């Protein structure tokens, strides 16, 4: 595993490059890093990404494995040899090989003879890392309760057994890294003899075409899992057909023959229409506009911009696009719903009393007239309708338990708690909202118990 060159809990004070995920991780990797540190300093100009760092670490680990075998009076490097049998797909990664060839040559000039690996083998290792590596993060930063948040993407590693787990866009397991170890978590009951799968992608809400293209470009295979073959998945990127004003323009899954050459293929699902061509440029324009509006509103999360203005902007985008222009479950709209929920919860935090202060009464400390209360309630109810759209999509696409489901139900529970604050004095309404809140909290807890620090 290669710790990232980013800031982390324990940084080497000699090479000033390698940052370990924790003091314990540093102690565990001390033998390897004593050797690695010297060459990191020599190759400092090359250590610009994790692939080069991981390559150097693999070469050093092979040398250490050779020394260990010699001490035990045996020959061979079984761990390294096992790694070299992993999928490389070198023939499909010509651009990658050309990019890394100069760095490999520089590394070979610095390494001593006993550590060197043939240039061709080094380039194969680069390809193996590209296809099989895992992003890893440091363990949860412990606070007084021993809990905390993990951060992914601070390093990369090869886990030889885990790398053989197949991909599915409708996975039944997921992996977690903790320091130098990787663990599998079942997301739903898996029968004996059934295949364990997980997703190689980070975002489970991507539409079929985009998932297929990303997997082909990064993992060199065309996914044809149950989600990729399900035509209802097309709704994640469907647009209203302006030719017939009745159907949806939906993208067709990619084919092996055309994945690298075909323009995205579209057709109207209204058999009487049949529009099928000339739509790709419109898609690019419409989706680029949505991304731009999302980014403008997202800036309100980390700046002093007016949350109310950002919310109004998102609400206008939703009203203009969800239905009139595209399917309400278009994947970019789903991201906008998620952002809308986060902005709304922040706005309510500044407008209503803290939830914990409300106690059993829920509305203690509300100082507003009925018109103000009604306006806030209207916005909360609109936020809950978007939360229910997200919930419907998550239940349709994701396995039984999932970190995203935990996030969705926790966000929904906050909005329901706010709604209960606004229904004080209306016993029947408050009772109904309380029942919905209890169910959202139950589902959030059921999903979160597998992912306490995600």
The reply to whether 90 and 182 lie within a common domain is no
The reply to whether 315 and 263 lie within a common domain is no
CA distance 52 to 60: 13
Q: Is residue 109 in some structural domain?
A: yes
What is the value of pTM for the model shown? 0.81
The residue ranges of DSSP E strands in 226-334, in sequence order, are: 239-240, 248-251, 266-268
The reply to whether 249 and 286 lie within a common domain is no
Q: Is residue 420 in some structural domain?
A: yes
Confidence of residue 285 (pLDDT cuts 50, 70, 90): confident
Residues 176-225 have pLDDT tens digits of 877 677 888 899 999 999 999 999 998 999 999 899 989 988 888 899 99
The reply to whether 104 and 127 lie within a common domain is yes
Average pLDDT on 431-452 reads: 90
In contact, 412 and 454? CB cutoff 8 Å: no
Q: Does the structure show a pLDDT above 50 at 140? A: no
More confident residue, 249 or 436: 436
The reply to whether 86 and 169 lie within a common domain is no
Share of the chain above pLDDT 90, in %: 42
Confidence of residue 283 (pLDDT cuts 50, 70, 90): confident
Q: Is residue 157 in some structural domain?
A: no
Provide the number of structural domains found in the chain: 4
Helix (H) or strand (E) holding 174: strand 173-178
The reply to whether 262 and 227 lie within a common domain is yes
The reply to whether 178 and 61 lie within a common domain is no
Q: In the prediction, which pLDDT does 268 show?
A: 86
Helix (H) or strand (E) holding 167: strand 166-167
Confidence of residue 48 (pLDDT cuts 50, 70, 90): low
Q: Is residue 150 in some structural domain?
A: no
The reply to whether 31 and 75 lie within a common domain is yes
Q: In the prediction, which pLDDT does 370 show?
A: 82
Where a domain ends, among 323, 341, 359? 341
Average pLDDT across the chain, whole number:
83
Q: In the prediction, which pLDDT does 144 show?
A: 32
Q: Does the structure show a pLDDT above 70 at 398? A: yes
Residues 79-124 have pLDDT tens digits of 999 999 999 999 888 998 999 999 899 899 989 999 999 999 999 9
CA distance 138 to 350: 33
Q: Which two tokens stand for residue 415?
A: 């909005």
Q: Are strands 166-167 and 197-198 parallel, antiparallel or unpaired?
A: parallel
Q: Is residue 363 in some structural domain?
A: no
The reply to whether 177 and 86 lie within a common domain is no
CA distance 141 to 297: 30
Confidence of residue 345 (pLDDT cuts 50, 70, 90): very high
Q: Does the structure show a pLDDT above 80 at 303? A: no
Q: Which two tokens stand for residue 390?
A: 């997200």
The reply to whether 254 and 283 lie within a common domain is no
Q: Which strands form 248-251's sheet, in the order they lie side by side?
A: 239-240, 248-251, 266-268
Q: In the prediction, which pLDDT does 304 show?
A: 56
Confidence of residue 366 (pLDDT cuts 50, 70, 90): low
The reply to whether 82 and 178 lie within a common domain is no
Highest mean pLDDT among 10-14, 30-34, 41-45, 274-278: 30-34
Total Cβ atoms within 10 A of residue 96: 18
Residues 239-252 have pLDDT tens digits of 988 888 888 888 87
Where a domain ends, among 268, 296, 313? 268
Q: Does the structure show a pLDDT above 90 at 139? A: no
Q: In the prediction, which pLDDT does 426 show?
A: 80
Q: Is residue 3 in some structural domain?
A: no
Q: Does the structure show a pLDDT above 90 at 231? A: no
Q: In the prediction, which pLDDT does 245 show?
A: 86
Q: Is residue 360 in some structural domain?
A: no
Where a domain ends, among 234, 249, 268? 268
The reply to whether 25 and 125 lie within a common domain is yes
Q: Is residue 356 in some structural domain?
A: no
Domain limits at 399? 370-453
């Amino acid at each position: 595993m290669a710790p990232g060159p980013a800031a982390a809990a324990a940084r080497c004070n000699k090479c000033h490059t390698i940052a370990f995920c924790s003091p314990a991780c540093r102690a565990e990797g001390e033998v390897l890093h004593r050797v690695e540190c010297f060459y990191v300093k020599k190759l400092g100009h090359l250590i610009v990404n994790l692939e080069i760092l991981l390559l150097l670490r693999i070469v050093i680990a092979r040398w250490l494995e050779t020394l260990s075998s010699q001490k035990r009076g045996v020959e061979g490097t079984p761990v390294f040899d096992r790694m070299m049998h992993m999928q490389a797909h070198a023939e499909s990664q010509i651009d990658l090989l050309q990019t890394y060839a100069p760095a490999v040559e520089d590394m070979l000039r610095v390494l001593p003879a006993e550590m060197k690996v043939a240039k061709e083998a080094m380039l194969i290792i680069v390809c193996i890392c590209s296809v099989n590596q895992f992003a890893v993060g440091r363990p949860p930063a412990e606070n007084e309760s021993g809990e905390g948040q993990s951060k992914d993407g601070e390093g990369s590693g090869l886990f030889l057994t885990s790398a053989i787990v197949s991909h599915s866009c409708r996975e039944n397991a997921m992996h977690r890294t903790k320091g130098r170890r990787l663990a599998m978590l079942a997301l739903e009951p898996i029968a004996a003899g059934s295949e364990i799968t997980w997703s190689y992608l980070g975002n489970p809400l991507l539409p079929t075409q985009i998932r297929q293209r990303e997997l082909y470009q990064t993992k060199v295979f065309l996914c044809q899992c149950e989600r990729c073959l399900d035509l209802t998945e097309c709704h994640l990127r469907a647009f209203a057909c302006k030719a017939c004003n009745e159907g949806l323009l939906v993208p067709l899954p990619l084919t092996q023959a055309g994945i690298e050459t075909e323009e995205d293929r579209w057709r109207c699902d209204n058999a009487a229409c049949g529009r099928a061509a000339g739509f790709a440029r419109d898609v690019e324009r419409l989706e680029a506009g949505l991304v731009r509006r999302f980014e403008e509103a997202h800036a309100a999360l980390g700046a002093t911009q007016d949350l109310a203005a950002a919310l109004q902007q998102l609400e206008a985008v939703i009203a203009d696009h969800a239905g009139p222009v595209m399917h309400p479950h278009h994947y970019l709209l789903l991201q906008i719903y998620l952002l809308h929920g986060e902005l709304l919860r922040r706005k309510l935090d500044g407008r209503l009393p803290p939830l914990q202060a409300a106690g059993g009464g829920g509305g203690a400390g509300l100082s507003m007239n009925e018109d103000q209360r009604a306006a806030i309630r209207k916005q909360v109810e609109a936020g809950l309708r978007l939360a229910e759209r997200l919930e419907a999509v998550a239940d349709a696409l994701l396995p039984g338990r999932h970190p995203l489901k935990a996030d969705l139900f926790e966000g929904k529970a906050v909005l329901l708690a706010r709604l209960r604050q606004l229904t004080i004095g209306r016993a029947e309404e408050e009772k109904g909202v309380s029942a919905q809140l209890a169910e959202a909290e139950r589902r959030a807890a059921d999903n979160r118990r597998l992912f306490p620090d995600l």
